Each structure stands twice: as C-alpha cells, then as structure tokens.
Structure 1
C-alpha cells in the first residue's frame, strides 16, 4: 500500500483471538473485553471491524520512523471458546455496570500493547507486570537489566496527545539505570493512532 506521496506503508493484520497463543492467558483474558468495548462501543459504521490504526514505529537512534497500518479484527466465537463470559463482560463495560468502567482505556491499551508485542516483536512474551513502577510489561526480569514495554492510552487527542505522553515517560525511563531495553506502546481511540517508540537502547 502507498500513501499520497508514493511511500510504501506496511500493513499488518492481526486477529485478537491469536493473543491466546502468543501471550499469557491471564493477561489476555483480562484485557480482551476492554479492547472490544473500547473500540466497538458506539455501534457507528466506522466502529466496525477490522479496526485500522495508523501506527508509527519509532527508534531514537535517528533511524527513519516506519509508518504502518495495523488492522485488528476478531472472531467472537473463537474468543468465546477461550472466555465463555466474554459477551457479558463487554456488555457490563459498555453499560458502566462494573467497577472497571473508568479503566477501560487503560486496560484496552494494555491489550493493544500485547497485540503490538505479538505482531511487531515476534516470539517475545510478557512474563510479568511491574507493580507501581515502569515498565508495565516485563519481557526479561534480569536484575539490573530489565527489558519491557511501558503502556499508555488516550480516548482522544491523536498524535499530539501521544507525543506529550512519550516526552514525559521517555525522560523517566531514560533516567533508570536498571532498564536495558524499553519501548513505549501508546494508543489513541479518536482518531485511531498508535506509536511504538523504542526508548532504550
């Protein structure tokens, strides 16, 4: 696929149900309902799958950023085979009848970060989550040389909102001597844009 200037834009297609093969069951089952409620919550024509995210894959080394499109879809039937309560969880999130209603954006961003890790870092798996400190997802817990992914989501604001988050979080992560590799996985619902930003190395 090409943009109007003729530059090739990579397109990646991902089926949400394959997260159960690529990542830990407990993280996936907790985040998938939020992803679906967040993306498909209004029932408007543009809120039908596949959901397209304009995505930038950015490295701080001066390398040219990669522009790509991430197409996300799912089979409800396949997801229900993994989680028989899926539809009731989604309905409760959409109706607000759950204590998680104010965490939909946060938890959806976690689920989408799992998608990004699986699609763009093939073979890498989240082994744990940090409690109260970055990075959110840990890929390698070697003492003094953590490797992981920090996550953030915004309901609106587009790239300007995500880049403000990037500046704030990058400064904190760069100051950490115990982290040897860390990425930022940033997501916005309106418009649907995302960044995967490599902070270290």
Structure 2
C-alpha cells in the first residue's frame, strides 16, 4: 500500500533534475488516465449502440431489479466475458454469482468477476432479496441481515444466530454489523 508520509519524506532527497522528471511523468500519467477513462466510455457507448441496433449480441442478463423472478435460479449466471467487448456487462445488468444476485454499477463495459477484486459497490452491487421468516411467537417478519438492505426503526433482523431490532433507519453496510453497533441495533 502507498504510504504518503514515507514517500514525502524521501522526496526531499530527490535531486532537482529527477524531481523535474517526476513532475513531467506525473503529468503524463494524469493525462493517460483521463484519456483512458474517455476511451472506455466511448467504447462502451459504441458497443451499446451496436447491441441496441441488434448488430452485436447482448450478454445474458436481466435489466430490471423490480422484476426479479421469484426463483433466483432463473436469473442468468455470470459468465466471464474475457476480452469480448460485446459479452461484457453494461451498467444495470443483473446476474447471479455464487448464490448472490448482483447488478453492474460500472459506467463502462464490465468484465470483472463479482467480488473478485474487492470492488463490490463500485463495480457490482449485491441486490439479493433478503430472506425473511416469521416469528412463530409473535407473527412478526424477521429479515436476514446482509449489506445493502434499507431498514426502518422497529424492524427485526437476524445476524449470526441472534435477533436484533433496528433502532435507527439506515441502509445496512458491511462495516456496520449488528453485534458491534448498539446505536443502530438492539439485541433481543
């Protein structure tokens, strides 16, 4: 991982001629990154236009999160598109991967495997419907906790075998676990 404090300490030791070179290379890298982003967006637009015109096939994916089938096994499985741009997923495409339902949130063409790079949320969003059960004693609905669920105060969630009541409305996140946040959850 890049350590800015360590780097800035050593930069004071770099000779002036090398420091100028670093400035030039840094500017070149910024320009390259900007151009790459523009090129990826243009490429995605061309592929989308050709797919929409029927000249390129679309990847096997759903596109409407409101119309997910009741049986999630009916959601198309993620397929590695490799370097085939026409097989890459578009923003909004929905597929199944490792038992989860995910939606592409990447603005360009998405060839990344869901979860593989730890970039979920920026590349893929988990939209797996939450599992619910009914409490036999009270008849209340209890939802299985997972990241990405919009919860309201009073809602009941299960997490790691325990039941929690939501204290404050929020959207669950992987770093806000029920057993660690008494400000958001009350263990029942």
TM-score range, shorter chain: under 0.3
Q: Which protein has the larger Cα radius of gyration, Structure 1 or Structure 2?
A: 2
Q: Which structure dedicates a bigger proportion of its chain to helix?
A: 1
Normalising by structure 1, report the TM-score: 0.23
Q: Which structure dedicates a bigger proportion of its chain to strand?
A: 1
Q: Which has the higher contact order (CA 8 A, sep 6+)?
A: 1
Normalising by structure 2, report the TM-score: 0.24
